[in-house]
Amino acid sequence: MLPNTYLLNSVTTELRVKITKPSQTRPLLRLVKTPEKLQQAVTSAAQEKLFPTASDFAKAVQQVAPTTKRLTKKEENQT
């Protein structure tokens, strides 16, 4: 529960209202170290829906900070 509290403290009061369940914070935890991207992801999810779901937050995080695909050893040898 401690990471959720830290995450909620990083978000502005207007956007904090959009995060209603602990499950919605899981996708956002990746962005705790970059508060500006965290704000951007929550704002993006809130623009799509009035009360975003966890999957909406996950999609917004993916848009703001896409993850890179990890290569297996077999794929590394081919490139």
For residue range 37-51, list pLDDT tens digits in order: 989 999 999 998 888
Span 37-66, average pLDDT: 91
Amino acid identity, position 63? Q
Binning pLDDT at 50, 70 and 90, where does residue 72 land?
A: confident
Q: Are 14 and 35 in contact (CB under 8 A)?
A: no
Distance CA 70, CA 59 (A): 19
Degrees to nearest 5, angle at CA 13 with 12 and 14: 95
**Short-list 62, 51, 61, 41, CA closest to 21:** 51
If you search the block for the tokens 């956007």, which residue do you land on? 15
3-class DSSP assignment, residue 53: coil
Span 53-72, average pLDDT: 87
